[in-house]
Amino acid sequence: MAARYLSILQTMPKGYSLAIAYGSGVFKQIGHRNVKDNMMDFILAVRDPLEWHKQNLTVNPRHYSMLRLGGHRLITNTQENWGAKVYFNTLIPTHEGLIKYGVISHSSLIADLLDWETLYVAGRLHKPVLMLHQDSSDDELKTALKLNLYSAVHTALLLLPETFSEEQLYVTLARLSYSGDFRMMVGEDQNKVQNIVRAQTQEFRRLYFPVLQELEEYVILDPLRGMGEQDTSPPARLYHLSMLPKKLQAMLMREWNRDRRNRDLEDVLRAAAHDTDTDDVIVQGITDIVKMSSLTQSLKGIVTAGAIKSVRYSWSKIKKMWKSLRR
């Protein structure tokens, strides 16, 4: 199947450090009969967005909305300065079917993976994806991709009880980037997260088992029993809190310093490790990150997709939502 997606990439300019395919057009989801019936989603991380869009406007001008009339500089500025710093072209007909692809700069991708600046692409990579290209010589990218998964596990463990099921773990991991996403209330299958996990359990295992094995001092997952157990003592929680992404830690500090006592990060994390309500603060922090990025990115999508495509795309999402509600 990878050949199918790679053939689509060949119609686009090179210059990307990372290329992934994802979603229901790639992986099975409960409620979708055949992945080939669904639109294929891609994300490309490009090193020079200005040059990449310049080349893509030459070879694929019809992929863009009327925004193309402003040229590659306007498109790049729209990508870099609005929403989650991703520029999407959607409902593009190709020899393999309809596709949607997002373009993000390499530097913005690294920032999102390490710090969860928007959790837009970093959150997408918390779930299984088909890796079509990764620059093997880029150690920074390799490290950032790995740390993003570790951050997800540290966060999920802080939200889970001492014992939990394997499905609970994967649902918690998959749900992180959907917390606060208004599209989950309007325009998405209401069972989306569970459908992803239940249909892709093996893919989640392959993605997270290497991470869990390195954290076996704090958590043990037995796939034969489908159960996990973790250390929930304050020292273990302090360790997880100390490994959270920078933006999430900053939100914890802001919440703990509402009384204007101006505690430093070390004091905040130590206090949070002993507080049973810390998980609520973490969820709220993630929700705030996702809410802002998903809303602004969706508003940007009206401009980058154009009015007609925006209506078509939104209508397809609404139909999915109604189908899920009727089950």
Q: What is the DSSP string of 207-270?
A: HHHHHHHHTTTTEEEETTTTEEEE--SHHHHHHHHHTS-HHHHHHHHHHHTTTS----HHHHHH
Quick count: other Cβ atoms within 10 Å of Cβ 116? 29
> Cα–chain-centroid distance for residue 264?
30
Rounded CA-CA distance 239/293 in Å is: 28
**3-state secondary structure (DSSP) of residue 142:** helix
Could you give the angle at the alpha carbon of 101 between the alpha carbons of 47 and 6, nearest 5°? 80
Mean pLDDT (the chain) is 90
Rounded CA-CA distance 53/51 in Å is: 6
Rounded CA-CA distance 70/232 in Å is: 55
Rounded CA-CA distance 54/64 in Å is: 12
Rounded CA-CA distance 130/8 in Å is: 14
Q: Where are the domains of the chain?
A: 2-326
Per-residue pLDDT, 319: 47
> Residue 72 half-sphere exposure, CB side, CA atoms within 13 Å?
15
Per-residue pLDDT, 180: 78
With the CA atoms of 157, 161, 167 and 170 taken in that order, what torsion angle do they form, in degrees rounded to the nearest 10?
A: -20
Sequence-distant (6+) residues with CB within 8 A of 125 are 20, 113, 145, 148, 149
- The one-character DSSP state at 288 is H
Let me know: does 119 contact 247? Beta carbons within 8 Å: no
Query: Among the listed ranges 5-14, 29-38, 83-92, 200-209, which one has the minimum average pLDDT value?
Result: 29-38
Checking if the pLDDT of 320 tops 60, the result is no
Q: What percent of the chain has pLDDT over 90?
A: 73
**Per-residue confidence at 315, pLDDT binned at 50, 70, 90?**
very low
Q: What is the pLDDT averaged over residues 127-149?
A: 96
